[in-house]
């Protein structure tokens, strides 16, 4: 390939090495942790603050001590990142400039009304609109605002509209708001006829819920560990203290939720852990009745239920590792009464099913890529919806109406902006309704993507999705960013990113490693990347990096890696295993203090994740996670430069994990590369809220990488 045309004007890392200031040094306070006879000293345990301490208007002395340390870390980060200050601003403006600031979503119809969203010039949040359908069902020319997130966000450093649900008579809206970034939502109600707020206010909810009738709303409540553990029934016009508990999930490994079934016949409760689920149902005509269990929970049985045409359809892994579809009468939901609709296949993962009056749409994954397949119920005829990119993702979209012959679906690839399509289930034709507009000189044909497979050390073939700007040299001289996750069975999708163009246009190659622990290659791919097989996740990632080096996709001196949350665990582990491999590492909200977190059942998410990591109260599980926990395996080594990002109010990975990890890394750093911690003092796990504020965090990361690559 031809050269990209952008020279390396500065030696890599030059700014980072120039007269580095002394980083903050946290006090060490002995804190012995003795488990199974193993005595560990967690000398930075004192950095912990409760959420009450973090949110207190008048902080106590300990809070001030911790916050002061984090502020010193931020000041240190600002000094080290000062050489890229202008680049950060340039990148932000560049990425923002690609976004169409005034835009409308594709409208959808539900229960006689059309809904869509708009975003406005300079505004961070969306405005939600609706209007009653015309007599022929078509969309009116004008839709009316009913929720303006920008107005609601005023005065808050953080804002998230969790969800909104419209009452069956279309007159009321239940909506939820989080202004702390702690995933604790306040639920409110609005009269859409007048715009008036009802007096009903419900605190500490998960954000979602379901109407049964126009007066009865079901929602889930959180406990002190933020686990969704109860479902309550609220009657409009009453105080939340009068709400009635209808379901209590007492197993600390399970969390519950409630929703209205798409058929509008039932309110459903779903409760689940990592490997087991259970569903309950209640006819909407009996809002004060008792929920009935569909099938009692069983160990390692996952199932979900949909209702249509008087029958229940069950997506289940019962005797089906990659899931199959069953159905049964609503009169008898025992497994013995189930009949098979779509059988299990060893090489295809059945991810989801959308039901229509005369069609089923199967969302499947084969060889790591998503597929959509349609079955016409009246004839049994099937047809696929086909796609051409080497790496892409297709998914069913907003399809609230059962009595329809049109399917909304989304499609995107590493080089194709996301689009919303309508597929006529009868004629098999596709219509593009809207494609993400990239403002400026973007041309998809200027970018290339590939799908390649690395051979892992145990012989398994690991897929990777690659994108770059055409003309970028694939001859061992280009910088490359390798991104991974590899946990919870979550597949990393090869989606388009307009922000990522800022890296590609500067000559970066970007690669997604679909390592074990995700579910790209079926359920076995997940099972072989967790618990006793967790090391496969880390070795796969390293083997992918080695493949890319061997095949000249990158400059060995400019190989970068990045991951967030459990992906932060990934990059933390490979930093310990192969520190010399990387020029720099970006770890966002990284889960790096695995053992201490999994020993503490008061921390959100801990009890629900024993099936993912193991329960360290068991010696074999303790020793296993101790073998890879990044915080516990820091050693004297020449670590690469690191940018570590966290949020003070993070409820999923507590801020003290990366804060402690950074201190220990610096203590053992044998090289000169800086280790930087940046804490968002107002945000949580997802970072800043608002469509533009988020870009500032992306610009920070990209500026760090561009400077490290010598492209400043």
- Give me the mean pLDDT over the 174-182 stretch: 87
- Could you say which of 273, 650, 651, 689 is catalytic? 650
Alpha-carbon span 323 to 342, nearest angstrom: 9
Whether 383 shows a pLDDT value over 60: the answer reads yes
Whether 5 shows a pLDDT value over 50: the answer reads no
What is the reported pLDDT for 688? 57
What is the reported pLDDT for 11? 43
Point out the least confidently predicted range of 156-160, 582-586, 639-643.
Answer: 156-160
What is the reported pLDDT for 692? 81
Point out the least confidently predicted range of 68-72, 181-185, 561-565.
Answer: 181-185
DSSP H stretches of helix in 134-235: 149-153
% pLDDT > 90, the chain: 84
Mean pLDDT, rounded, of the chain: 93
Annotation marks residue 685 as catalytic: yes
Residue 414: count of CB within 10 angstroms of its CB? 29
Residue pair 441/464 in contact by the 8 Å Cβ criterion: no
pLDDT 10s digits, 393-408: 999 999 999 999 999 9
Annotation marks residue 650 as catalytic: yes
What pTM value is reported for the model?
0.89
Whether 301 shows a pLDDT value over 60: the answer reads yes
What is the reported pLDDT for 683? 65
Alpha-carbon span 433 to 384, nearest angstrom: 20
Cα-based distances in Å from 330 to 261, 281, 293, 337, 407:
14, 10, 12, 10, 26
- Could you say which of 234, 359, 649, 685 is catalytic? 685
Instruction: Select the more confidently predicted residue: 125 or 10.
Output: 125
Alpha-carbon span 385 to 141, nearest angstrom: 31
- Could you say which of 363, 478, 565, 689 is catalytic? 565
pLDDT 10s digits, 320-357: 999 999 999 989 999 999 999 999 999 999 999 999 99
Strand 197-205 to 185-191 pairing: antiparallel
What is the reported pLDDT for 98? 96
User: What is the DSSP-derived secondary structure letter of residue 615?
Assistant: -
Alpha-carbon span 319 to 331, nearest angstrom: 23
Annotation marks residue 304 as catalytic: no
% pLDDT > 70, the chain: 96
Counts for the chain of helices (H) and strands (E), in that order: 14, 39
What is the reported pLDDT for 199? 96
- Of the pLDDT bands very low, low, confident and very high (cuts 50, 70, 90), residue 685 is low
- Give me the mean pLDDT over the 431-446 stretch: 96
What is the reported pLDDT for 543? 98
Instruction: Select the more confidently predicted residue: 171 or 651.
Output: 171
What is the reported pLDDT for 9? 33
pLDDT 10s digits, 74-118: 999 999 999 999 999 999 999 999 999 889 999 999 999 999 999
Whether 651 shows a pLDDT value over 80: the answer reads no
Sign of CA pseudo-dihedral 688, 693, 698, 702:
negative
- Give me the mean pLDDT over the 150-171 stretch: 91
DSSP H stretches of helix in 415-534: 501-504, 523-527
In sequence order, the 6+-apart residues with CB closer than 8 A to the CB of 248 are 229, 230
Whether 441 shows a pLDDT value over 60: the answer reads yes
Strand 584-588 to 559-564 pairing: parallel
Whether 547 shows a pLDDT value over 90: the answer reads yes
Whether 8 shows a pLDDT value over 80: the answer reads no
């Amino acid at each position: 390939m031809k050269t990209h045309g952008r020279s390396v004007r500065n030696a890599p890392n030059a700014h980072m090495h120039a007269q580095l200031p002394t980083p903050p040094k946290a006090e060490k306070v002995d804190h012995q942790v003795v488990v199974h006879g193993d005595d560990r000293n967690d000398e930075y345990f004192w950095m912990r603050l409760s959420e009450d301490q973090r949110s207190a208007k008048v902080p106590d002395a300990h809070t001030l001590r911790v916050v002061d340390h984090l502020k010193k870390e931020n000041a240190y980060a600002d000094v080290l990142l000062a050489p890229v200050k202008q680049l950060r601003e340039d990148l932000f403006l560049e990425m923002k400039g690609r976004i169409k600031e005034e835009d409308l979503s594709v409208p959808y119809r539900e229960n006689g009304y059309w809904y869509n969203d708009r975003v406005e010039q300079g505004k961070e949040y969306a405005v939600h609109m609706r209007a009653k359908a015309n007599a022929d069902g078509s969309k009116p020319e004008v839709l009316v605002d009913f929720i303006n997130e920008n107005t609601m966000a005023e005065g808050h450093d953080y804002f998230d509209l969790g969800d909104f649900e419209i009452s069956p008579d279309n007159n009321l809206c239940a909506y939820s708001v989080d202004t702390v970034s702690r995933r604790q939502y306040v639920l409110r109600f609005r009269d859409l006829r007048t715009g008036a707020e009802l007096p009903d206010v419900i605190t500490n909810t998960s954000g979602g819920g379901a109407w049964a009738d126009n007066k009865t709303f079901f929602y889930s409540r959180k406990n002190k560990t933020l686990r969704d553990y109860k479902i309550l029934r609220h009657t409009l016009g009453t105080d939340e203290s009068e709400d009635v508990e209808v379901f209590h999930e007492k197993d600390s490994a399970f969390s519950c939720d409630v929703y209205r079934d798409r058929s509008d016949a039932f309110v459903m409760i779903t409760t689940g852990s990592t490997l087991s689920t259970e569903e309950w149902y209640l006819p909407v005509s009996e809002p004060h009745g008792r929920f009935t269990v569909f099938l009692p929970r069983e160990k390692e049985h996952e199932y979900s239920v949909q209702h249509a045409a008087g029958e229940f359809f069950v997506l289940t892994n019962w005797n089906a590792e990659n899931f199959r579809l069953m159905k049964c009468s609503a009169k008898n939901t025992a497994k013995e009464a189930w009949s098979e609709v779509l059988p299990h296949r060893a090489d295809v993962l059945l991810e989801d099913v959308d039901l229509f009056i005369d069609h089923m749409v199967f969302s499947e994954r084969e060889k790591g890529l998503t597929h959509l397949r349609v079955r016409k119920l009246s004839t049994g005829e099937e047809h696929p919806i086909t796609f051409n990119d080497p790496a892409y993702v297709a998914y069913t979209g907003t399809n609230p109406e059962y009595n329809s012959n049109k399917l909304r679906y989304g499609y995107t690839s590493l080089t194709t902006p996301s689009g919303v399509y309508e597929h006529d289930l009868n004629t098999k034709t596709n219509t593009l309704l809207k494609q993400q507009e990239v403002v400026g000189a973007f041309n998809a044909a200027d970018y290339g993507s590939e799908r390649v497979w690395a051979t892992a050390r145990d012989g398994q073939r690991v897929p990777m999705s690659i994108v770059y700007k055409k003309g970028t040299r694939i001859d061992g001289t280009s910088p490359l960013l390798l991104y991974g996750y590899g946990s919870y069975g979550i597949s990393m999708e090869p989606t388009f990113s307009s922000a990522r163009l800022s890296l590609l246009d500067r000559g970066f190659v970007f690669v997604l490693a679909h390592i074990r622990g995700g579910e790209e290659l079926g359920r076995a791919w997940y099972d072989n990347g967790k618990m006793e097989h967790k090391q496969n996740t880390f070795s796969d990632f390293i083997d992918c990096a080695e493949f890319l080096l061997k095949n000249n996709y990158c400059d060995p001196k400019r190989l970068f890696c990045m991951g967030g949350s459990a992906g932060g665990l990934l990059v933390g582990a490979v930093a310990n295993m192969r520190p010399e491999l990387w020029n720099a590492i970006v770890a966002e909200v990284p889960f790096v203090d695995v053992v201490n977190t999994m020993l503490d059942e008061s921390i959100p998410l801990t009890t629900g994740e024993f099936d993912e990591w193991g329960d360290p109260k068991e010696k074999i599980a303790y020793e296993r996670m101790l073998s890879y926990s990044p915080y516990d395996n820091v050693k004297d080594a020449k670590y690469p430069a690191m940018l570590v990002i966290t949020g003070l109010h993070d409820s999923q990975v507590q801020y003290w994990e990366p804060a402690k990890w950074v201190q220990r890394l610096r203590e053992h750093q044998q090289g000169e590369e800086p280790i930087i911690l940046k804490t968002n003092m107002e945000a949580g796990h997802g970072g800043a809220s608002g469509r533009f504020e988020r870009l500032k965090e992306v610009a920070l990361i990209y500026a760090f990488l561009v400077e490290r690559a010598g492209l400043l």
